[in-house]
A = this chain, B = another copy of it.
Amino acid sequence: MGNVHKQNLPMSESSRSRLHSDIEDAIEWLAQFGQAAEGGVTRLLYTPAWQLAQQALEAKMGQLGLAPYYDDCGNLYGRLSGTDRDMGVLLTGSHVDTVNCGGKFDGAYGILAGMLALRYLRETCGAPRRTIEVVSFCEEEGSRFPLAYWGSGNIAGRYSLGAVPEVADKEGVTLAAAMREAGFGQKRYPPPERRDIAEFIELHIEQGFVLEKENKTIGVVVGIVGQKRYTVRVKGAANHAGTTPMKYRNDALAGACAMVGWVERRAQNEPEPFVSTVGQLEVLPNSSNVIPGQVYFTVDVRDAAADRLAAFCLELRQAFAAIARERELTVEVEEWMDMAPVRMNPAMNAELAAICEAKRLPWRHMFSGAGHDTQVISRICPSTMLFVPSHNGISHSPLESSSTAELAAGVEVLAEWLYKRAY
């Protein structure tokens, strides 16, 4: 990974205070594009609001002294060219798309932090040895089309414009048609796949409240958890709530509740970042005076270790089968999501930890319990993430908020790391 620059990036108090006001202004500025009437920000992939936001970012990149360009998938880059063209590119950034009525920080922060860091480096230190780029990934959420990481997936070769998945939005518009309509997928721009990236770093809000609860400013992300998701179908016998004695019941809800209890108890016994959640549950016929005959529920299981995930899920199937057997119910467990956990780069994390220490910023190692573009990019280069606190852990909501001081601290750490790596 080469040497790390020994000097620290010079930053005066006035520069730091300018950074404070600039990151705050930038967040507000970008939130204008796609502002939803119901509150929050809505920028679904390839929609007019999304196009306006990318065009605004493109113009802003130019103003900040970065050379903007698109790839043919719609990812937008701002380049600060290095003097040594043989060295791999340092890439930072995040995604510009949002969920429906999302918050103004999710995704946006990582792009704007990268742009401000690059401007500062350019203004303060001139051209780097190594080329640095900031990226605005065209899509992460999968809010319009039923697939996530379309932008980073094309960069990393997980998806290809030569084989666009046949998916459509709620109105029946296909991904291919929406992309063409927005001006992409027609070879007007360079192909999205990249082989020249040396390292990638993404700043993001935590989307949880661990940093806030523990009074930490920076989370250095050790890994992104793997996920498995299941739908569980429990069948018993619907019967009259008054005339069916307790001993003759095959109550699907009572059985499902025993399973939910198992999931919770068992997950509490696992070390962090293991989590497991029953978030959705439906009862049939769902009438106060009828013993439930059927229950459907989901189980979401996440962990940093693939083997622990697999072991839990095997045990879950056995435990559910035993609960069903004992109660004369039937149970089916269907897996519909299986994503492997991803490790972030330890060397990068060591550098980031050292920077936090030097800056006397309270920080901790942590796992990301949510998915991010970084897990996709990490297939092609050493990658990591930094988190800043989310107030009350709220995300994907107009109520999303992070303090300006903490957002600015994230930009400082990023700038410092880019300086040490690129100059």
Contacts and interface: CB of A to CB of B under 8 A. Distances in A.
Interface of A: 206-210, 213, 225, 227, 229, 239-248, 251, 253-254, 256-258, 260-261, 264, 267-268, 270, 272-283, 286-292, 298, 300, 302, 368-371, 393, 395
A275 B244 contact: yes
Nearest to A283: B281
B253 A278 contact: yes
Contacts of A244: 208-209, 275, 369, 393
21 contacts: A209-B244, A213-B248, A229-B288, A240-B395, A241-B275, A241-B277, A241-B302, A242-B302, A242-B371, A243-B370, A243-B395, A246-B264, A246-B274, A251-B277, A253-B260, A256-B257, A257-B258, A257-B260, A257-B261, A277-B290, A277-B291
Contacts of A208: 239-240, 242-245
Contacts of A289: 229, 277, 279, 300
Given A242-B275, A268-B246, A288 B298 contact: yes
A256 to B, nearest CB: 8
Contact of A264 (B251, B298, B370): B251
B229 A246 contact: no
A395 to B, nearest CB: 6
Total copies of this chain within the assembly: 2
Q: Which of A248, A277, A283, A289 has the most CB of B within 10 A?
A: A277
Contacts of A225: 242
B279 A280 contact: no
Contacts of A290: 277, 279
A243 to B, nearest CB: 3
A156 to B, nearest CB: 21
B245 A273 contact: yes
The 10 closest A-B pairs by CB, nearest first: A208-B243, A242-B369, A257-B257, A288-B298, A241-B277, A243-B369, A257-B260, A242-B370, A254-B264, A279-B288
B242 A227 contact: yes
A342 to B, nearest CB: 13
Q: Which of A206, A281, A298, A302 has the most CB of B within 10 A?
A: A281
A251 to B, nearest CB: 7
B286 A283 contact: no
Nearest to A243: B208
B267 A291 contact: no
Contacts of A210: 243, 245, 248
A300 B291 CA distance: 10
A232 to B, nearest CB: 11
A233 to B, nearest CB: 14
